[in-house]
Amino acid sequence: MATSRAALRYLESRKNLTGSACGLLGLVLTFTEVAGPYWPVVVCGLYGAGALIAPPERPALPEFPDPSAQLEAVRADFERLGGYLADVELPTAAAERLTALTDLLGALLAPGWVAEVLAADPEGVHAVSRTVRQDIPEAVDAFVRTRWWHRMAPGQEAPESPLERQLTLLHEEAERLAAGLREIEARRQESHTRYLEDRGGGLSA
């Protein structure tokens, strides 16, 4: 079966098609009596030469999801994260910081032109994906586990303090990402202004 597929691939390959075209030329030379009695050698030689000069087969590139599809997957995971967070009881301060963070992430992921700008930034998509899929779940789960130990053996640092710090850092990171996306739009606006100015200058000349 594998041999049959390999043979079929070769029959459809550039090498065979080019070699066959050159071999056909050899047959034409034979019928016009140019090749003479050595026509089998001419035909085989032309076929071999054609197969050698044919461009090599190029394997098809692997298909990866485009940035928009990646962002759609992150959006779905963000919704699942919201369901998880709804079942976790957090202290007021930590809950407020988490809400601020998830509100900002939700605004970045919401379908629309903002998400389109984000989708065009692979590093930004990666950063949001990491925050949604790794950083927030890890921070909250670590708090839940540490809180149990703190209740069993009080006297250590309150577990909400590290959680609040982690959520603050994540929010600052998300704000930097949002600022970067805003800068992209600002540069786009400036570029369009310069284009219009240059176009106007050309018309006035």
Residue 54 is encoded by which pair of tokens? 């044919």
Q: Which residue has the higher pLDDT, 199 or 12?
A: 199
Question: Average pLDDT in the 41-46 region?
Answer: 55
pLDDT of residue 151: 66
Q: What is the pLDDT of residue 36?
A: 52
Instruction: Give the side-chain half-sphere CA count within 13 A for 181.
Output: 25
Q: In angstroms, rounded to a whole number, what is the distance separating the alpha carbons of residues 33 and 150?
A: 99
The percent of residues in the chain predicted with pLDDT above 90, rounded, is: 38
Token digits of residue 200: 């106007």
Among 46-50, 89-93, 130-134, 173-177, name the one with the lowest average pLDDT. 46-50
What whole-number distance in Å separates Cα of residue 178 and Cα of residue 65?
23
Q: What is the CA radius of gyration of the chain?
A: 32
What is d(CA 29, CA 162) in angstroms, rounded to the nearest whole number?
Answer: 85
Instruction: Tell me which of 84 and 31 has the higher pLDDT.
Output: 84
Residue 150's pLDDT is 65
- Per-residue pLDDT band at 44 (split at 50, 70, 90): low
How does pLDDT run across 159-171, given as a tens digit for each residue? 789 999 999 999 9
Residue 50 has a CB neighbour count (10 Å cut-off) of 22
Residue spans per domain, the chain: 8-53, 67-204
Q: Judge whether residue 172 has pLDDT over 90.
A: yes
CB distance 118 to 179 below 8 Å: no
Q: How far apart are the first and last CA of the chain?
A: 72
What pLDDT shows up at residue 2? Answer: 47
Residue at token pair 């550039």: 14
Residue 4 or residue 61, greater confidence: 61
Task: Give 30-42 as a DSSP string.
Answer: HHTTSSGGGHHHH
The chain-wide mean pLDDT, for the chain, equals: 77
Per-residue model confidence (pLDDT) at position 11: 43
Tell me which residue of 142, 138, 177, 183 sits closest to 160, measured CA to CA. 142
pTM of structure:
0.64
pLDDT at 201: 67
